[in-house]
């Protein structure tokens, strides 16, 4: 198979279903060799099955592509190392890491248990860190050995992490952390030829089809905006060598719409040449707020 990713070696986590599956298939169609990682877990993270990852591998092979399955837990530090090692040992290297794995334990903040919080932050935020950490170690070693790879990381954040989402405190916090991790990793890894960007996708998956049922419903207009396959072309382009000048970006993708997120920026300021008096802070801060745009509403806010 040939395309814009011909010769590239990619890992896609959480690739057994939904967005990850669509990404793995598109990368393969574009010529990449793919390690399809998935635990085969249920929506809440429980259970395991090798079936989903292997099914995607078979789909890729039926298309004429090359792929292998991987069942490691991406948030297990040693498991993430073994995942990266499998790509290197099987295909001879690693060029692309698409970090996508995750699940939901939605609760209002006052009802969220410690276990639910820890589980969600672990799979999303630690899962991104662990896989990125081991991939980065490999890319740094290759660079120091004079074999620098034009490597790419595509992380997965969310509108919940950028604007917030009612009933998703743990998920929103983890996804916000991923956006910040993207900025730091892009700066740190650029010297090794690695770019790091994040997508905030909106698509119909197990995680969204119930929580946002009305928005995720299939369209009868001929263009199904919410199908996961709409997001994957952006992943494929970011995985190419052509995208070498794009890094540290957060990109929202929904249907045929691509939006570059602006993120936190320094806004209006008030400064004194002395310590603020507590009683005077209110008037100064209100003046800054009054002259600034209101924050975008949190998803689900009334």
> Mind telling me the catalytic residues?
158, 171, 175
Return phi, psi of residue 8, to 5°: -80, 150
Rounded distance between C-alpha atoms, residue 9 and residue 164, angstroms: 34
Rounded distance between C-alpha atoms, residue 116 and residue 44, angstroms: 9
Return phi, psi of residue 34, to 5°: -125, 130
Rounded distance between C-alpha atoms, residue 8 and residue 296, angstroms: 38
Rounded distance between C-alpha atoms, residue 21 and residue 7, angstroms: 20
Q: Which residue has the tokens 């900025």?
A: 183
Of 136, 114, 100, 133, the C-alpha closest to 27 is: 100
Of 250, 152, 251, 248, the C-alpha closest to 194 is: 152
Rounded distance between C-alpha atoms, residue 224 and residue 204, angstroms: 10
Rounded distance between C-alpha atoms, residue 225 and residue 143, angstroms: 40
Rounded distance between C-alpha atoms, residue 289 and residue 131, angstroms: 40
Rounded distance between C-alpha atoms, residue 178 and residue 198, angstroms: 8
Q: Which of left, alpha, beta for 167 (phi over 0: left; psi -120 to 50: alpha)?
A: left
Rounded distance between C-alpha atoms, residue 116 and residue 106, angstroms: 8
Q: Which residue has the tokens 């604007």?
A: 163
């Amino acid at each position: 198979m040939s395309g814009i990713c011909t010769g590239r070696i990619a890992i896609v986590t959480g690739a057994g279903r939904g967005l990850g599956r669509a990404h793995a298939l598109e990368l393969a169609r574009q010529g990449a060799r793919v390690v399809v990682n998935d635990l085969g877990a249920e929506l809440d993270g429980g259970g395991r099955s090798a079936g989903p990852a292997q099914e995607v591998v078979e789909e890729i092979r039926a298309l004429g592509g090359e792929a292998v399955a991987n069942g490691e837990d991406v948030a297990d530090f040693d498991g993430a190392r073994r995942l990266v090692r499998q790509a290197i040992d099987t295909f001879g290297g690693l060029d692309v890491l698409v970090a996508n794995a995750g699940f939901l334990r939605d609760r209002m903040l006052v009802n969220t248990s410690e276990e639910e919080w820890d589980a969600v932050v672990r799979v999303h935020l630690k899962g991104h860190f662990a896989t990125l950490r081991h991939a980065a170690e490999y890319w740094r070693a290759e660079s120091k050995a004079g074999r620098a790879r034009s490597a790419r990381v595509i992380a997965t954040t969310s509108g919940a992490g950028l604007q917030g989402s009612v009933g998703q405190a743990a998920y929103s916090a983890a996804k916000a952390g991923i956006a910040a991790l993207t900025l730091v990793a892009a700066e740190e890894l650029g010297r090794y030829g690695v770019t790091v960007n994040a997508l905030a996708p909106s698509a119909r998956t197990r995680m969204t089809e119930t929580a946002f049922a009305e928005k995720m419903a299939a369209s009868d207009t001929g263009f199904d905006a919410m199908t996961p396959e709409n997001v994957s072309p952006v992943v494929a382009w970011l995985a190419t060598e052509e995208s070498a000048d794009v890094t540290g970006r957060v990109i929202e993708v929904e249907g045929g719409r691509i939006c570059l997120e602006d993120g936190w920026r320094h806004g209006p300021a008030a400064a004194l040449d002395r310590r603020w008096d507590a009683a005077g802070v209110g008037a100064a801060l209100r003046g800054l707020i009054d002259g600034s745009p209101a924050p975008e509403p949190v998803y689900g806010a009334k």
